[in-house]
Amino acid sequence: MSNLAELGNTPFILQAEEAMRNMIHLHIHSEPKHYKIKGVYVRELFIPAGTLATGKIHNFESIGVLSQGTLRITNGETSIVVSAPYITIDKPGIKRLGYAETDCTFLCIHRTDCETVEEMEHELVSETFEEYEQKTQNLLSKETL
């Protein structure tokens, strides 16, 4: 297991995520909306009130915008309650757990030159800390060449 997965309350977030995978989903999952202009990708997600969800691990800094609602968030180190309008700079390598107290709309803004959603997802996020560390190592190797 990755050292990042052992920091703060991250083990709890990973346990909660695993438990949620094994549950019957009671909420209708909404598909994210994708927006792309040259160099910028925005992913918009509607989160119904009462939803508990985890996010993917971001490989790079990004900007997060809660444009509607109230959300409880923990990131492995701190826990906060935020209400729209709320803007934050999200650091890479962090797993988040959130609970939507009300219906929420959350935007994640990334810098990328990729063109397709699949390419952007591959470049910008990781499913596991091991994948994140591998991608980070690959980037560092390319920079030193």
pTM for the complete prediction? 0.78
Digit-coded pLDDT (tens) for 78-112: 899 999 999 999 999 998 899 999 999 999 999 99
State both tokens at 23. Answer: 């549950």
Spatial CA neighbour of 53 closest among 80, 13, 110, 108: 13
Digit-coded pLDDT (tens) for 10-33: 677 667 767 666 654 544 467 899
CATH of region 3-144, choose from 2.40.50.140, 3.40.1190.10, 2.60.120.10, 1.10.390.10: 2.60.120.10
- Is the pLDDT at 36 greater than 80, yes or no? yes
Q: How many CB atoms lie within 10 A of CB 35?
A: 11
DSSP H or E stretch at residue 95: none
66 burial level (CB within 10 Å; 0-12, 13-18, 19+):
buried
Q: Where are the domains of the chain?
A: 3-144
Whole-number Å distance between alpha carbons of 124 and 57: 9
Our CA dihedral for 32, 54, 105, 31, rounded to 10 degrees, sits at 20
In the chain, beta strands by DSSP E: 33-37, 40-47, 52-54, 57-58, 62-68, 70-74, 79-83, 86-90, 97-100, 104-111, 125-126
